Chain A
Amino acid sequence: MSTSSLGSGSGRSARAGRRAGVGVTRPGLVWAVPATVFFLLFALLPLVLVAVLSFTSWDGVGAPTFNGLDNWTKLLHDPVMTQSIWLTLVLTVAGVVVQTPVSILLGVWAAGHQRNRAVLSAVFFIPLLLSATAISVVWRAILDPNFGVPSQMQWLFGDGNLMGSQSGAIAVLTFVGMWQWTPMHALLYQGGARAVPQVLYQAAAIDGAGKVRQFLHITLPQLRNTMITSVILMLVGGLTTFDTVLILTQGGPGTDTTNSAYYMYQQAFKSFDFGSGSAIALVLVVVATLISLAVVRLSGYDKMRGTTEGL
């Protein structure tokens, strides 16, 4: 830790500096105190509290009272809970499967030297600027079966009630998720693709490899690390999809699109059963933390590498 924190600028001179005993002034820990205290109070304290609250019964107004494992046993036998976990997995996997190929292609394209690239990519990345709320509201209006686009394009949409069935509603959520997140992941891949050494392509071209083979045998393997980061971000995002569900489907039809995050919101803030809500939240925390540990391990952030390479 202490050796690598000396900076990535130039390892040799850092070591030389230390050997020569140059006394470099260093900030004390006190510089980290304000941010850390703030973060502990507003992000980590709630994390501990959610565990405590999951063993209580609380209606949001009075004081929470302990009820042991009641919330947990209730959840175990709750068919909606089981279904919501299944749904969360389906939405998450669908998101990764749909977004990954599109964002790789788009990112690799944007890293190249195509004509009109600047103008086109300026348009491509507009979804990044919009709030999930705005995106959901717009798509809901556009996909409205009576007044939206389906009513004018019946050759494509049939009766147009896309969100009336479970498979339709899941498809809509996946599509809107793709619309919203692909640009962000394309940006990651664009950075990754730019960092691929040109020598590799030149060597491949001399060997007579075409564009497609270059893409498959050079670009894709070289993007492995970017892919890990991107997929993990998609997993965490997919697990916690909430705004789009709330606005596009309200978890419906019935409970057909009630994923865990939405179910947690419903239990806590609609049914005022904050204990059960906390238990669901805790499940989300544990899963997300496991994934975050994976981020730290797989991406090498914990080795404190410079993070600007590839930008």
Chain B
Amino acid sequence: MRRRPNYLAGLGSLVWLVVVGFPLYVLLISTFRTRSSYSSEGPLSFPEHLTLKNYVDDFSNGFGQDFLNTVIVTVSVVAIVLLVVPPLAYAIVRAQGRTIGTVFRIFLLGLAIPAQAVIVPMFYVISKAGLYDHLIGIILPTAAFCLPVCTLVLTGAMRDISNELYEAMAMDGATPWRVFWQMVVPLSKGGLSSIVVFSALQAWNGFLFPLILTQSESTKVITLGLYNFQTEHGVDVPGLLSAVVLSMLPIFIVYLFARRALVQGLMGVGGK
């Protein structure tokens, strides 16, 4: 069949390009302006003098510390997810009996528990555990809230491993442990990278748990830094926007190099 370009859809996609591109343009050029040029020339015109001062200032305003905290949180959340989800998914796909079905249903129900709904008791639990204002107090709930989606995605990936392979491994007399390491893990690489992408994105962009569960400068993460920056120095828009750009830089670099994997990961998050 001959493929004709679909002009209507093409036009629509160009409209969306403007909708997405325009704010990104304003965001980027604003970061290279001085504060005074932002208020005098306005956000749209191309700045007369470009400056990197905003970026330098961000670091003297503690961005480095926020960045480090966010890295610690993200790495830890991904580590926890990778530690507990693959064995769980393996059990869901392969274990026998009714109990495991109940476990799977519990995680499915968890899909729709909004973090806001449990934030008050979370504050209670974390305070009682003495973890308030510690990074570990953000890491644990963030990881827990990644589990339902990650379980769903990885279960889907593991379910595609054919039964013949399990039978072949069984013929060789492999233990569940060996089956897991030598077959299930290597064959579900796609699902594993999806859950890494998803949990890393969640942890990197997380806002509610840090907002409620920390208060000090020393435990501040990037998103909270942006929020505080806006409430405290609301007038310094170029400073604020340059911090936004810095906050998305790592993810953007990953996106440039691994767009396909990232998009597949995000698609998996949708469930289908």
Contacts and interface: CB of A to CB of B under 8 A. Distances in A.
Given A1-B101, A149-B43, A288-B117, A49 B17 contact: no
A139 B87 contact: no
A284 B117 contact: yes
Interface string B122-146: 1111000000000000001101110
A73 interface: no
Contacts of B157: 308
Interface in A287-308: 288-289, 291-293, 295-296, 299, 301-302, 304, 306-308
A271 B201 CA distance: 32
A89 to B, nearest CB: 16
Given A106-B12, A281-B119, A302 B114 contact: no
Given A42-B141, A114-B9, A152-B42, A132 B207 contact: yes
Contacts of B16: 102, 106, 124, 182
Interface in B1-26: 1, 3, 5-6, 8-10, 12-13, 16-17, 19-21, 23-24, 26
Given A34-B84, A268-B120, A5 B96 contact: yes
A264 B116 CA distance: 8
Given A25-B174, A131-B204, A211-B6, A49 B152 contact: no
A134 B223 contact: yes
Interface string B226-255: 110010000001001100100110011001
Given A137-B227, A242-B208, A306-B160, A311 B112 contact: no
A187 B112 contact: no
A28 B117 contact: no
A44 B162 contact: no
A17 B166 CA distance: 11
Interface of B: 1, 3, 5-6, 8-10, 12-13, 16-17, 19-21, 23-24, 26-27, 30, 38-39, 42-44, 80, 83-85, 87-88, 90-101, 103-125, 140-141, 143-145, 147-148, 151-153, 155-157, 159-164, 166-167, 169-171, 174-176, 179-180, 201, 204-208, 212, 223-224, 226-227, 230, 237, 240-241, 244, 247-248, 251-252, 255, 259, 263-264, 266-272
CB-CB nearest 6 A-B residue pairs = A292-B112, A9-B162, A307-B156, A131-B205, A42-B144, A49-B121
Given A38-B80, A46-B125, A115-B5, 18 more contacts: A17-B167, A27-B94, A29-B100, A32-B91, A32-B95, A42-B125, A58-B124, A112-B6, A129-B255, A142-B27, A149-B43, A152-B43, A187-B267, A188-B272, A211-B6, A239-B114, A281-B118, A302-B105
